Chains A and B, each alone.
Chain A
Amino acid sequence: MKQGDLVIYEEQIEKIEKALCRLIKDSQAKCVLLVDKDGHLITRQGFTQSLDTTALAALLAGSFASTREIARLVGEPEFSVLFHQGKKDHIHITLVGERTILAVIFDDRTTIGMVRLYAKEASENLERIFSTVNRQHHQAEDQNRIDSDSEFSTSLENRLDDIFSDQS
């Protein structure tokens, strides 16, 4: 059940974003967010400037987590697709692999069928990319080092003192 840290490298993010761009183009969605199940935003594409994507990522992960528990209670391992229908905008959420969630936000210019079809295709594509990420993570573990403990601590303490203070 316990999973390690999620690590994304530059070459993977390029592939991921290419896949997301294609999904937007094909499905005619407004924007796409890729979120990990812990609520961290991995990346997003499309028109997200007006959205608080950090909060959206946390809420999407929360929504997916509660739905997973509902699934478990009714005897399903997981509901792999979620759909929220609004008056103007709708959200289609798909599970990608074991630990990421793909959320597609779209409006009436496209259809749920279109989004569903291309989201499934993108999800399979992303799953392949993520399996590469995991492999590379293990290979890269030995390469990452920090030389100076004191430099790190000083840098960190200064930042924390600057931000977490009672002066409003």
Chain B
Amino acid sequence: MASINYAFKEISCKIVFYGPGLSGKTTNLQYVHQKIPPQTRGDLISLATDQDRTLYFDFLPVDIGRIYGFSTKFQLYTVPGQVYYNATRKLVLRGVDGLVFVADSQKCKMDENIESFQNLAENLSEYGYNVDKIPLVFQYNKRDLPDISSVEELEKTLNPKRLPYFEAVATKGMSVFDTLKCISKLVLDQAKRKQLFPEREIKVSEAEKVSAGLDLSQMPQPEPMKATVSSSTAVENSTPQTVTTIPKKEREPLSEEMTPKETQQEKRLEIELDVGEITEEEKVKMDQTSFRESSTIISWSAGKSDKKTKSKGFFLLHIFNKLFKR
């Protein structure tokens, strides 16, 4: 069902294109993706087999802008049409707000259309939805092919309730947008009926700031401390669980030198902690990578500074913090 975020003033609705295999569901999304302005849509994501058959779903997010002060977004999904993929097909229906049933107009495909529509009703009922209560439009696709069923036949067989329908040729874009406009309107009309759009203006103060990313002002500030630590790789064997139980607040700055006994088998690793002074190289590294706790800048005086050894360094830090706390 629709997601409404009053803080960001966003409403997000899910529209699913359902129908038998090869009826043109993915083609509909591809056409929409190709034709709508790039700033209003995201990337088209297809989870498909090597033969370009939908395996799980295709996904296209579309932002239609502000309606009643709310940034309104549609998430367009297709399902895998093949009978074999019913398990994944059912999953896509979760939380659906509107449905487009893409039927293949060819006479030989009529049975598949009927089977797929019955399957839709069954899958919806498993989620507790009623096919009669969810906005639904029909798209009779492939109208340009020979040997197709008449619209009357299709209507009689698939759409006895006379819901909106469109004759389409998805490969050429015929009626693709008409179908989408119709279902979008039905979905938003229902959202309005369900009173999801508020009458009153809701104050939003932090939304923009927060959406920009992490608020660095809440991050810990660097503490002046300097220590030279010598240890062995034997510490690597400590379990992460032990390390993670050390609350950060209780950590104390390292202020003395510690040199455990070295054995012949142990490879020594020197780590110099110098938090007060950050070199240019480290500053660049911090910019290039993302957030790292500012109180743990490590420069390596021995050993390779690959990821594995960096990870060891963090383990060592935690262990030493724990020791000093005691």
1/0 contact string of A27-58 vs chain B (CB within 8 Å): 01011000011111111011111001011001
B12: interface (CB < 8 Å): yes
Binding stretch for chain A, among B98-106, B124-132, B254-262: B124-132
- What chain A residues lie within 8 Å of B1 (beta carbons)? 3-6, 38
**Bound-state Cα–Cα, A145 to B196, Å:** 8
- What chain B residues lie within 8 Å of A156 (beta carbons)? 67, 184-185, 188-189
* Given A46-B214, A163-B62, 19 other A-B residues pairs in contact with their CB atoms under 8 A: A5-B1, A13-B206, A25-B218, A25-B219, A30-B290, A37-B95, A38-B1, A41-B12, A42-B5, A58-B77, A62-B91, A111-B311, A113-B241, A156-B185, A157-B185, A163-B37, A163-B65, A167-B35, A168-B35
Q: A108-B307, A141-B195, A161-B181 are in contact. Are A2 and B127 (CB under 8 A)?
A: yes
A111 to chain B, nearest CB (A): 4
B204 interface neighbour in A10, A28, A62, A112, Cβ under 8 Å: A10
Asked if A9 contacts B6 (CB within 8 A), the reply is yes
In the complex, the chain B residue whose C-beta lies closest to that of A30 is B290
A62 interface neighbour in B36, B57, B202, B219, Cβ under 8 Å: B57
**Bound-state Cα–Cα, A10 to B210, Å:** 12
By a beta-carbon cutoff of 8 Å, the part of chain B in contact with chain A is 1-8, 12, 14, 32, 34-37, 40, 42-43, 45, 47, 56-57, 59, 61-62, 64-65, 67-68, 72, 75, 77, 87-88, 91-92, 94-95, 126-129, 173, 177, 180-181, 184-185, 188-189, 192, 194-200, 202-207, 210, 213-215, 218-220, 239-241, 243-245, 248, 290-293, 307-308, 310-311, 314-315
Question: How many pairs of residues, A versus B, come closer than 8 Å at their CB atoms?
Answer: 227
- What chain A residues lie within 8 Å of B243 (beta carbons)? 111, 113-114
In the complex, the chain A residue whose C-beta lies closest to that of B219 is A25
- What chain A residues lie within 8 Å of B72 (beta carbons)? 159
1/0 contact string of A43-81 vs chain B (CB within 8 Å): 101111100101100110010011001000000000000
A124: interface (CB < 8 Å): no
**Bound-state Cα–Cα, A4 to B45, Å:** 27
Asked if B61 contacts A55 (CB within 8 A), the reply is yes
Select the residue from A28, A30, A40, A146 with max chain B CB neighbours within 10 A. Answer: A40
A129: interface (CB < 8 Å): no
Q: List 8 A-B contacts (CB under 8 A).
A: A5-B4, A17-B206, A30-B291, A58-B59, A109-B311, A117-B244, A143-B198, A164-B177
